Structures are given as structure tokens and as C-alpha cells.
Amino acid sequence: MRAAVIGAGSWGTTVATLASRNVPTILWARRPEVAKEIVEHRANRRYLPDHVLPEALEATSDLEEAARDADLLVVAVPSHGFRQTLEAVAPHVRPWVPVVSLSKGLEQGSMLRMTQIVDQVLPGHPAGVLTGPNLAQEIIGGHAAASVIGMQDLVVAEALQDVFSGGLFRVYTNHDVVGCELGGALKNVIAIATGMAQALSVGDNTRAMVITRGLAELTHLGVAMGGEPATFAGLAGLGDLLATCMSPQSRNRHVGEQLGMGRKIDAIIADMNMVAEGVKTAAVVMELAKRHGVEMPVSEEIYAVLYQGRDAGDAYRGLQGRKAGHERDSG
């Protein structure tokens, strides 16, 4: 098997590194200078400073070169560029090659998950997602971690386990693609909320409340959209949520912290080197919640801060003022 990873950000480079230890792997970088740095200096200093990449890992800025011989296509670009990138690579992908998404977002406008976009652009290709509590810096540094491949065809998913597994990185399988993708996308909004809590110094009890009620929100919406409840209690749900909410490495938590300090979202994004998917996802979540009749007060307050100019402190006071119903319900 030969793997092609499309996208040389921190997580794409990390996954390519993992795969290159098991199968021949080529990493596509949009900028030629990044591909050249990987080939000549075994480094991607922009996204993974201080880490030496394997000699076996190939790199290119030519999409055709990356994809034409691939037996597995891994797409590691943000959700807003996913469709465009997939359309560009599609002419070079051989039939029936599995396509695995690393993106944890939803497409604006269509509100589609990334595997649904794969089904549209590359019909007939098995589509899946690799997701979980996966902070790139820790995994490429050799720390223990686990992920899950969400794919309807478990025979294919089990074959792909051996591509990504190795060392202290364990990969599980799950047939619930819907739940796996939604868990990864929706938790980013909750991570913004916990980052705001950190900056506002509201206390550990409040952060725990927000994380727990946030998990309830994303589970209610995820199940309404066809996911299975157990998935949201696993690596793709609770596991990813905890890592993203707790870690200072989290981009979405960072956005929340900056909002809590009183900064405006446009200025925060302008200063960032990487994409925080939760910013765009928050708008999609509100549309989905309305469509499926799911109450999501935590996400609603984050949307108000991001898009309606609401103050972060007022957002938390708004949550505290809500009447509490049965714990199993949203709200």
C-alpha cells in the first residue's frame, strides 16, 4: 500500500509521519518551499518546530505526483478548503481508493460533513475519518495517544489500522461515521467556551459544568443527525472534547481565551498561524440546531460572542441565568 497525505499542516504532517513508518508515504504541501524543506532538511518548521521528520517520508507540491500512485488518500486540509482541494486532486486518484478525512469541521452553506463531500466529489470511493484526542505536537513527540477510524466498511477500516498505528499510537475502528465526524466538529465550539472560562477565571467548577453540558449538547444534536450515543462517550466525542478543552495547545481554546480577554475575533484570527475550526462551525451549529429542533445554550452563547458582538462575561452570566431542567435534556 502507498499512502498520500494531502495537506502539510501540523496534523497532516504528523499523520504522514506515522504512516511513513508502515507504508511508503508522500506528503503534499501547497507551498513548494514547505515540500522542499521536508525533503532537504527533514523539517516542517512552520508547524512542527524542533521535530525531525523520517527519511522515508516523501514530499511534493505537485498534486498529480502525490495522488497518482496512491492506494490510500488522506485529506488533511481545513473544512473551508476541503471541497476545492478534493476537486483538484480527483482527476489523479485511481478508482476505489479509500479517502480518509482529517478535518474536524462542517462545510458552510451546505452544512455537510467531510465524508459527504467525498461521496459527492469522488463517488464510489470508501470514505472515512480519522479522529480523536489527537494533539499533533504530543503525538509526533512520541507520547501515548489513541484515535479512531470511522468508516462504514469495517473491513477497509481494519486494513487501515495498520497504516496509522505504531509505537504508542493506538487506532480503533468505528462504523458510526456520522457520530465520529460530528463529535470532532462540534467539540470545537465547546472548546472556545472553555477558553473563555479560563480567561475569565470563573473557576474549575464552572469549566467542568460547561464541558459536561457541552457534551450533552453535541450528543443531542449528533444523535438527532443520525449518530449513535455511544460514539459521543468515546474517543471521537468525550475524548476529543477533553483534550481540546484542557490543552493550551488547542487552537479553539486559544480563541476562547483571547475572546475572554476582550479581543475581537477578526484580530485573533489574523494573529493565528493555523485554523480554528470552531469559529466557522459555530454558525453552522446554530443552523443545524434549528433544523433538528435541538436546544444548545452553550453553543448559542458562543455564536453570540463570535458573530453578534456579545461580551464574553455577559455570555457566562447568560448561561448562569437559565432555568435548569432535567439533566438528560439540553439546556
- CA 174 – CA 153 distance, rounded (Å): 9
What is d(CA 22, CA 29) in angstroms, rounded to the nearest whole number? 21
Specify the pLDDT at position 28: 98
Sequence ranges of the domains in the chain: 3-175, 178-320
Q: State the DSSP H helix or E strand holding residue 137, giving kind and residue range, or none if neither.
A: helix 136-140
pLDDT band at 321 (very low <50, low <70, confident <90, very high): low
Separation of alpha carbons 209 and 9, rounded Å: 33
The answer to whether domain 3-175 has CATH 3.40.50.720 is yes
Q: How confident is the model at residue 330 (pLDDT cuts 50, 70, 90)?
A: low
pLDDT tens per residue, range 174-185: 999 999 999 999
What is the CATH code for 178-320?
Answer: 1.10.1040.10
State pLDDT tens for residues 151-179.
999 999 999 999 999 889 999 999 999 99
| Residue 197, φ and ψ in degrees, nearest 5 | -60, -40
* pLDDT at residue 85 in the model: 97
Of 68, 69, 42, nearest in space to 56 by CA: 42
Output the pLDDT for position 317: 76
Q: Is residue 221 over pLDDT 90?
A: yes
How confident is residue 275, by pLDDT bands cut at 50, 70 and 90? confident
In the numeric block, which cell numbers belong to residue 160? 487501515
CA distance 7 to 63: 10
Q: How far apart are the first and last CA of the chain?
A: 48
pLDDT at 331: 56
pTM score, two decimals? Answer: 0.93
Amino acid 60 reads: T
Q: What is the pLDDT of residues 72-122, one digit of tens each?
A: 999 999 999 999 999 999 999 999 999 999 999 999 999 999 999 999 999
Find the mean pLDDT for residues 263-286: 90
**What is 178-233 written as a DSSP string?**
HHHHHHHHHHHHHHHHHHHHHHHT--HHHHHHHHHHHHHHHHHHHHHTT--HHHHT
Whether 133 shows a pLDDT value over 90: the answer reads yes
**Calpha distance 223→212 (Å, rounded):** 16
Q: Give the catalytic positions in this structure.
A: 187
The share of the chain scoring above pLDDT 90, in percent, equals: 86
Using only the alpha carbons of the chain, give its radius of gyration.
Answer: 19
pLDDT at residue 310 above 80? yes
Q: For residue 15, what pLDDT is reported?
A: 98
Conformational region of residue 201, where left means phi above 0, alpha means psi within -120 to 50, and beta covers everything else:
left
**Between the CA of residue 160 and those of 20, 65, 142, 173, 174, what are the distances in Å?**
13, 22, 20, 9, 12
Looking at residue 319, what is its pLDDT?
66
Largest CA distance in the chain: 60
3-class SS at 130? strand
- What is the torsional sign of CA 240, 246, 250, 251? positive
Q: Which residues pair with 169 in a beta bridge?
A: 145, 166
Buried-state track 109-128, b at ≥16 Cβ within 10 A, e below 16: eeebbbbbbbeebbeebbbb
Q: What is the mean pLDDT of residues 294-322?
A: 85
pLDDT for residue 243 is more than 90: yes
